[in-house]
Amino acid sequence: MSKKKVIEVVVVTFQEYAMDDFVFHSKFMIKHWSGDYHFYKTSKRALAQEAVDAEYGANMYCIREV
């Protein structure tokens, strides 16, 4: 039986994201419809996309790389 690792998600408001000294929490993110940015802490894009699909449904959001 294999354990599935839970990917940590960091939610950042637009105001925080727009600051000059903002540091990205991960290189994989989505921009949520509310205007917030969701960063997925993982080293693989496919795992980040799976987490997004599980949360919001397939083809709702596409992972961006920053």
For the chain, the structural domain boundaries read 8-65
Whole-angstrom distance, CA of residue 54 vs CA of residue 33 = 17
- Interval 40-50: pLDDT, tens: 999 999 999 99
What is the token pair recorded at 32?
């949520």
Structure tokens at 57: 């449904």
pLDDT higher at 3 or 9: 9
pLDDT above 90 as % of the chain: 89
Separation CA 16–CA 38 (nearest Å): 12
Tokens of 25: 């929490």
Whole-prediction pTM: 0.89
Return phi, psi of residue 40, to 5°.
-105, 115
% of the chain surpassing 70 pLDDT:
97
Q: Are 14 and 38 in contact (CB under 8 A)?
A: no
Query: Looking at residues 48-59, what average pLDDT do you find?
Result: 94
